[in-house]
């Protein structure tokens, strides 16, 4: 019997688990697999398209009282982020940024993306610095099919940044195939590979006088800060990473430091356990059953946190007939009325698609409610993407809302 079982190993679940473990609880994270963290940028987005995220959130909380930020409250946002930053510092993977001012970091297309906090390995790419007129080099490998310097540089130039592009030669390796971002990240932790890379970068700097070099976010998996530091010394220029397509190395690092912290605090993680049904007595959740290795396993706990994500994370699924359901506990969902209202005609519609705001409605303590507003389980809290009424991707609050609600559930 655990004190708390967290279902889901994404950002919100890990924060809830860390919070509870820190208070001395016996905690298990039970998940089907890794969460959406592995697909995201590795940055902490609080709120896009505002200058001051914290002020934007305060306004949002007034306008939309059911938004996860409104439910978590400003204290939980600040404390949750502070906790992630402390974990990062201790792991030599610090995050830089500000609650009151968004950074603007280049994407792998050369767009400038607002985010509140970024790992130190990315911070030199902030557009305010890039616009100082000194030349920036965007460099990659032809073998990496998820990063193309010429278009990034061209789009940056169109936005007033003096950027140029170059392809680097892949340093000699044993491997013939599959230079994925993860493979390259592991190679970057080998001194010989890094030395070769450093020489090439230094040659470019000597020739082009670059003040900064943007590289794909593949600079190490467990020791990224050290890798970047070493490459900067060798190249004689500032280096910044640019997040690549999933699988995202920077996202994996963020997950990894949280996992290390949870294990350090005595928590447990069980992946490969797909929670598919629950057992309850009245409004108390008693046990869940997970499918794993062709058998069902029963898990019991006093308190539960549902952190399975929304449609992206797999916590909410749709049937061909147009019915949406919550996969783990069969909680009631708040969804658009009818399939006809699920999608906007344009894929990149600025308001997003209503179906992706489907999720669980909760009370002020994040406990699940049914359509009539009655409490479903008194000992369950719902966090992150599984919550209804917001679009974490289009609002640019994916990590912020996950951290705020996850941290709130870790404290209650």
Partner 1 sequence: MQTLSTDVLVIGGGATGTGCALDLAMRGIRCILVEKGDITHGTTGRYHGLLHSGGRYVTKDPQSATECAHENAILRRIMPHCIEQTSGFFVITPWDDESYGDVFVTNCHRTGVPVQEISVAEMLRREPALNPRISRVFEVHDGSADSFLATHSVALAAREYGAEIRTYHNVVELVRVGDRVVGAIVEDLRSGERIRIDCTYVLNAAGAWAGKIAAMAGVTVTVVPGKGTMVAMNHRMVNTVVNRCKLPSDGDIIVPIHTVAVIGTTDVHVPDPDVFGIEPEEIQFMLDEGEKLIPGFRQYRALRAWAGVRPLYKDKDVASDRDIPRTFKLLDHEERDGVSGILSIVGGKWTTYRLMAEQTVNELARRLGNTQPCRTASEVLPVPRFEHRAHAMVTVSPDPAAQTPHYWLGKPLALVESEHAAGDLICECELVTRDRIIAAIDAGAHNLDDIRRDVRMGMGPCQGGWCIYRTANLLYERRCADGLSHTHANEAMLHFLQERWKGLTPVLWGDQLRQARLDELIYAGVLGIHRLRALAEPGGGLVTQHPAIATEYVQA
151 forms part of the interface with partner 1 (CB under 8 A): yes
Q: How far apart are CA 278 and CA 329, in angstroms?
A: 6
What CA–CA distance (Å, rounded) separates 368 from 326? 12
C-alpha of 205 from chain center: 33
Work out which of 1, 293, 294, 347 binds partner 1, going by CB under 8 A: 347
Q: Residue 337 interacts with partner 1 (CB under 8 A)?
A: no
Tokens of 156: 């940056």
Q: In 3D, which of 152, 122, 127 has the Cα closest to residue 137?
A: 152
Using rule CB under 8 A, residue 325 touches partner 1: no
CB of 127: closest distance to partner 1 in angstroms?
11
Please report, for residues 35, 188, 231, the alpha-carbon distance to residue 184 in angstroms, rounded to integers and kept in the order given. Answer: 22, 6, 15
**Pairwise CA distance, residues 109 & 121, whole Å:** 18
Considering only residues 150, 236, 332, 336, which one is a binding residue for partner 1 as defined by CB under 8 A? 150
- Site membership for partner 1, residue 346 (CB under 8 A): yes
Q: Which residues inside 105-134 make contact with partner 1, applying CB under 8 A?
A: 107-113
User: What is the spatial distance between Cα 90 and Cα 270, in angstroms, rounded to a whole number?
Assistant: 24
How far does CA 174 lie from the centroid of its chain?
32
Do 198 and 231 contact (CB within 8 A), yes or no?
A: yes
Between strands 238-242 and 274-281, the pairing is unpaired
Please state, as a whole number, how many other Cβ atoms lie within 10 Å of the Cβ of residue 400.
28
* Contacting residues for 332 by C-beta, under 8 A, at least 6 apart: 326, 360, 361, 368, 369, 370, 371, 376
Query: Does the footprint of partner 1 cover residue 376 (CB under 8 A)?
Result: no
CB of 137 to partner 1, least distance (A): 17
CB 104 within 8 A of CB 83: no
66's tokens: 């059911």
Choices 81-89, 143-151, 201-209, 257-265 (CB under 8 A): range interacting with partner 1 = 143-151
| Binding residue for partner 1, selected from 172, 174, 319, 372, defined by CB under 8 A | 319
**Interface with partner 1 (CB under 8 A), residue from 350, 371, 372, 373:** 350
Closer Cβ to partner 1, 175 or 374, answer by number = 175
CB of 173 to partner 1, least distance (A): 11
Q: Which of residues 342, 354, 411, 412 is near partner 1 by CB under 8 A?
A: 342
Q: Which is nearer to partner 1, 178 or 337 (CB)?
A: 178
Taking CB under 8 A as the rule, which mask of x and - marks residues 63-102 in contact with partner 1?
A: ----------------------------------------
The DSSP element (H or E) to which 215 belongs, if any, is: strand 212-216
CB of 314 to partner 1, least distance (A): 6
Interaction between residue 39 and partner 1 (CB under 8 A): yes
Judged by CB under 8 A, the stretch of 4-12, 123-131, 284-292, 338-346 that binds partner 1 is 338-346
Residue span binding partner 1 (CB under 8 A) among the ranges 89-97, 147-155, 222-230, 295-303? 147-155
Selected from 63, 282, 295, 321, the binder of partner 1 by CB under 8 A is 321
Is 320 a binding residue for partner 1 by CB under 8 A? The answer is yes
| Half-sphere exposure (Cβ direction) of 327: Cα atoms closer than 13 Å | 23
Q: Which is nearer to partner 1, 90 or 158 (CB)?
A: 158
Nearest C-alpha neighbor of 211 from the set 140, 137, 157: 137
- Rank residues 44 and 301 by Cβ distance to partner 1 and give the closer one: 44
CB of residue 347 to partner 1, shortest distance in Å: 4
Find, among 184, 114, 101, the residue nearest to 142 by Cα.
184
322 part of the interface to partner 1, by CB under 8 A: yes
- Phi, psi of 313, rounded to the nearest 5 degrees: -75, -20
Residue 63's Cβ-side half-sphere holds a number of Cα atoms within 13 Å equal to 8
Binding residues for partner 1, per CB under 8 A?
36, 39-41, 107-113, 142-146, 148, 150-151, 154-155, 158-159, 176-179, 243-246, 248, 310-312, 314, 317-322, 339-340, 342-343, 345-348, 350, 352-353, 355-356, 393-394, 398
């Amino acid at each position: 019997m655990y004190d708390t079982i967290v279902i889901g190993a994404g950002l919100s679940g890990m924060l809830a688990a860390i919070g509870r473990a820190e208070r001395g609880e016996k905690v298990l994270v039970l998940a089907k697999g890794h969460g959406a963290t592995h697909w995201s940028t590795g940055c902490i987005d609080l709120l896009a398209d505002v200058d001051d995220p914290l002020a934007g959130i305060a306004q949002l909380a007034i306008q939309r009282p059911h938004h996860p930020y409104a439910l978590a409250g400003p204290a939980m946002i600040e404390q949750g982020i502070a906790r992630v930053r402390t974990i990062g510092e201790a792991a030599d993977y610090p995050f830089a940024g500000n609650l009151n001012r968004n950074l603007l970091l280049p994407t792998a297309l050369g767009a400038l993306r607002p985010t509140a906090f970024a790992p130190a390995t990315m911070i030199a790419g902030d557009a305010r610095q890039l616009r100082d007129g000194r030349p920036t080099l965007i460099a990659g490998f032809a073998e990496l099919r998820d990063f193309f310097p010429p278009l990034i540089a061209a789009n940056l130039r169109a936005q007033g940044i003096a950027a140029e592009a170059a392809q680097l030669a892949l340093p000699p390796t044993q491997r013939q195939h599959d230079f994925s971002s993860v493979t390259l990240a592991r190679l970057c932790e080998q001194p010989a590979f890094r030395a070769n890379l450093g020489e090439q970068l230094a040659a470019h700097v000597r020739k082009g006088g670059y003040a900064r070099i943007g590289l794909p976010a593949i600079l190490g998996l467990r020791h990224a800060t050290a890798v970047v530091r070493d490459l900067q010394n060798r190249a004689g220029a500032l280096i910044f990473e640019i997040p690549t397509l999933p699988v995202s190395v920077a996202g994996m690092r963020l997950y990894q430091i949280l996992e290390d912290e949870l294990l350090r605090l005595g928590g447990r993680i069980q992946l490969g356990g797909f929670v598919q049904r629950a057992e309850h007595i009245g409004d108390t959740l008693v046990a869940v059953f997970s499918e794993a290795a062709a058998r069902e396993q029963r898990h019991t706990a006093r308190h539960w946190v549902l952190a399975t994500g929304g449609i992206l994370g797999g916590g909410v699924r749709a049937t061909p007939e147009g019915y949406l359901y919550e996969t783990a506990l069969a909680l009631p969902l708040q969804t658009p009325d009818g399939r006809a209202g699920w999608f906007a005609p344009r894929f990149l519609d600025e308001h997003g698609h209503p179906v992706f705001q489907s999720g669980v409605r909760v009370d002020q303590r994040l406990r699940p409610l049914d359509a009539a507003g009655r409490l479903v389980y008194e000992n369950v809290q719902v966090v992150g993407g599984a919550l209804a009424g917001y679009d974490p991707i289009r609002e640019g609050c994916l990590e912020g809302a996950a951290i705020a609600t996850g941290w709130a559930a870790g404290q209650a």
